[in-house]
A = this chain, B = another copy of it.
Amino acid sequence: MHLRVINPNTTASMTLLAGRAAAAAAPPGAVVDAVHPTMGPASIESHYEEALAVPGVLEQVAIGEREGVDGYVLACFGDPGLDAARELARGPVLGIAEAAMHAATMVGRRFSVVTTLGRTVGRARELVDRYGFAGACAGVHAVEIPVLALEDPRSGAREAVTERCRRAVVEDGADVVVLGCAGMAELCAHVSAEVGVPVVDGVAAATALVAALVGIGLRPGAGGEYAPPPPKPVAGLLAGFTVAPRVPAVSR
């Protein structure tokens, strides 16, 4: 089983971090690698950046399909390009927000999300609604630390995230906490030990769950909403994304 983590931004250190978290979560025998796009923003903290990250995600899925990848993890908590990636991939694709919320509701009654910047809370709530977990979500909170500062020990991220998770348990009544950024993956064990409830890192959750789906042969249907996109010209700067006639049909 060959699983691939796609870090949707172009910062290599985050790709390495996500790759480590995924490798630790994969089942025996799975090969896991991690990549990032050749194009797009250095981190994703706005709708604008998320939108610009998507073409690069799709480029990487197309590459993965040529290399026979069996399942994908999109390692950004906004789940950028998830539906489009499902149209390109033969195997299952999971976003880390999606996976973390599914996992959280399998082990607790109500989860809170602790994320980076307040401006991303709206997107997190939108995903909570989309995946059906509005009734299970007790709160979404931001620590106001930018994504790329999470790895910097001077940012105080470890303490801030731990403290915000602790408050969520007490004030929201959450019995699970979801970490709302791939860059928090390596805080998961620490926070879990500190706050006394299960804490979910989306990269680990998505890797383990996509491996589960691959293992039982579940993937989106080849017809219907997630069928390969129809052959059609794409103009201008993005012409390289043109879907040529017949190729998707053949490769699928």
User: Taking beta carbons and an 8 Å cutoff, which residues of A are in contact with B?
Assistant: 10, 25-29, 37-43, 45-52, 54-56, 58, 81, 83-84, 86-88, 92, 94, 98-99, 102-103, 105-110, 118-123, 125-126, 129-136, 173, 175-176, 196-198, 200, 204-205, 207-209, 211-213, 215-216, 218-221, 223-227, 229-230, 232-241, 243
Contacts and interface: CB of A to CB of B under 8 A. Distances in A.
A40 B238 contact: yes
A28 B25 contact: no
A43 to B, nearest CB: 7
A239 B41 CA distance: 9
A86 B224 contact: no
B58 A51 contact: yes
A130 B131 contact: no
A109 B223 CA distance: 13
A48 B88 contact: yes
A136 B129 CA distance: 11
Contact of A208 (B131, B204, B216): B216
B25 A27 contact: no
A213 B218 contact: no
A233 B52 CA distance: 11
B212 A208 contact: yes
13 contacts: A38-B235, A38-B236, A43-B232, A51-B54, A55-B238, A83-B123, A102-B102, A103-B213, A106-B209, A121-B173, A132-B134, A209-B209, A211-B212
Nearest to A109: B122
A149 B41 CA distance: 36
Given A40-B235, A119-B225, A122-B225, A107 B216 contact: no
B237 A38 contact: yes
Nearest to A196: B223
